[in-house]
Amino acid sequence: MGGLQFLPAQTLSESEILGHADARIQKYRTGDVQLRLVTPDGKALKKGTRVTIEQTRHSFLFGCNIFMLGKCKTDAENAAYQKEFSDLLNYATVPLYWWVYEREAGHPDYESTERFAAWCSAHHITMKGHPLAWNYTDPSWLASNPAEVMRLQMQRITDIVGRSKGQIDIFDVVNEATRFAREETLQHAPKLTAGIEQMGVPNYLRTGFNHAREANPQATLVINDYITTDEYLEKVISQLVDASGQPLFDAIGIQCHQHREVWSAQKTWDICERFAKVGKPLHFTEATILSDQPGWELRQKNPQFDWASTPEGEQRQAEEVTRFYTVLFSHPAVQAITWWDFSDQGAWQQAPAGLVRADMTPKPAYDALMKLIKGRWWTRAEARVSSQGAAQFHGFYGDYKVNVKEHGRELNGTFTFSTKTAQPVEVKLN
């Protein structure tokens, strides 16, 4: 695979994966921090001063698509959707599907992106654009000439990434290229599929990523697919390198729709190990586990079928979600998990895949994730100032706020720390 770096795979049994998950989480997701607290008047805090430290955000990306923002049936449901989403998550996938985003040639729906961006910014939620290139459905106005189709595709990448710089800096650049000429793409996107075929998949991949990189050199560029076998590695990832063999992508996207069957801990771990060999971060981009009977397109096959969440299904979903997230959060290569969809209302395939019900009330799976993300994997700590004016604690990587009460005054500050943070961390109090 050219110049791609391969890391050694780690083979573990099911019991080792689950039994040692907490230890791996402590090893890979937490660290020791030394704070250097600076008062507004430049004086050192008195030895023994109590410092309260509380996490405000994870560095790990816990997310979901946010397609239903402002689109629920009632104002009350819209408000509940927004509250439950922002209470739990720090990462949102926003839609860029070409056939919907640009229904009329030359008129992309930039207003919808601005609307998503305004809300996400106000709630300190990182955005990802999905996808820039995908031959799933042709825009109705698209030209028939394959070369012109690819020219327009690459220009779209440049325009969206460049315009979104500073708002959206993470993108699924190319989606589902491993089996790009499957039956549904030949039927619904014959023009885009023909353009890719004429251009050749390797050239299509490299050109798309180069256009995105030129438009925003600091962007995180993700290759994304539903194939989780070596086929994805061999047909796509190994081709996505520059002339010197260096990767043109920043992260590997792995779809994980589990409509038919929930992945075992062993399968999840093995997929992580397979793609971690490349030496790039892994983003689990589209995760679903249902809260009713498993199946694929059950409502499309039988419109009368009542594919609705059940109490038994919800309990099962909560247990599987807890296990799935625990395995992924414990693997050092994983940097992001995106659920798909947040609510049963408007969910893909009309499946009961949401973390909240159609009426926006939280399911047990939502509550289980809250207990993990904002409970077990969340840091609230106290420390005492040492004789050197420093305070130390151990916590999860992310953003924090600090509170100090001294001489009748209350001082506050913020800081961020990760594996790359230089010690000590200076916190300016005010």
User: What is the structure's pLDDT at 425?
Assistant: 94
Phi, psi of 111 (to 5 degrees): -60, -40
| For residues 147-172, average pLDDT | 98
**How far apart are the C-alpha atoms of 276 and 332, rounded to whole Å?**
9
The strand ranges marked E within 307-379 are 334-339
DSSP string covering 5-31: --PPP----HHHHHHTHHHHHHHHHEE
For residue range 308-341, list pLDDT tens digits in order. Answer: 999 999 999 999 999 999 999 999 999 999 999 9
The answer to whether 298 and 307 are in contact (CB under 8 A) is yes
Better-scored residue on pLDDT, 120 or 5: 120
**How far apart are the C-alpha atoms of 181 and 184, rounded to whole Å?**
8
Q: Return the sign of the alpha-carbon dihedral for residues 191, 197, 200, 204.
A: positive
**How far apart are the C-alpha atoms of 248 and 251, rounded to whole Å?**
10
User: What is the structure's pLDDT at 2?
Assistant: 44
Residue 178 DSSP SS3 = coil
User: What is the structure's pLDDT at 44?
Assistant: 79
User: What is the structure's pLDDT at 8?
Assistant: 66
Omega of the bond leading into 341 within 30 degrees of 0 (cis): yes
User: What is the structure's pLDDT at 389?
Assistant: 80
Residue 194 has pLDDT above 90, yes or no: yes
Is residue 367 within a helix (H) or strand (E), and if so which, with residue range?
helix 364-371
**How far apart are the C-alpha atoms of 84 and 68, rounded to whole Å?**
13
Residue 109 DSSP SS3 = coil
The answer to whether 68 and 345 are in contact (CB under 8 A) is yes
| For residues 272-277, average pLDDT | 97
- Asked whether the domain spanning 58-376 has the same topology as the one spanning 26-54+389-428, the reply is no
User: What is the structure's pLDDT at 406?
Assistant: 83
Please report which confidence band the pLDDT of residue 1 belongs to, taking 50, 70 and 90 as the band edges. very low
Residue 91 has pLDDT above 70, yes or no: yes
The answer to whether 174 and 153 are in contact (CB under 8 A) is no
Please calculate the CA angle 142-147-150 and round it to the nearest 5 degrees.
Answer: 60
Phi, psi of 32 (to 5 degrees): -90, 140
Tally the C-alpha atoms within 13 A of residue 185's C-alpha that lie toward its C-beta: 19
**How far apart are the C-alpha atoms of 414 and 301, rounded to whole Å?**
53
Residue with tokens 């739990």: 88
The superfamily (CATH) of domain 58-376 is Glycosidases (3.20.20.80)
**How far apart are the C-alpha atoms of 411 and 42, rounded to whole Å?**
13
Its pTM stands at 0.96
Residue length of the chain: 430
Residue 61 CA from chain centroid, whole number: 5
The domain segmentation of the chain, as residue ranges, is: 26-54+389-428, 58-376
Helix axes 190-199, 201-215, angle to 10 degrees: 100
CATH number listed for the domain at residues 26-54+389-428: 2.60.40
Residue 155 pairs in a beta bridge with: none
For residue range 37-63, list pLDDT tens digits in order. Answer: 999 988 878 899 999 999 999 999 999
Q: Which two tokens stand for residue 410?
A: 């209350």
Please report which confidence band the pLDDT of residue 3 belongs to, taking 50, 70 and 90 as the band edges. very low
Residue 169 has pLDDT above 80, yes or no: yes
**How far apart are the C-alpha atoms of 345 and 366, rounded to whole Å?**
15
Residue with tokens 């402590």: 26
Q: What end-to-end distance do the CA atoms of the chain give, in Å?
A: 53
What radius of gyration, in Å, describes the C-alpha atoms of the chain? Answer: 23
Residue 234 has pLDDT above 70, yes or no: yes
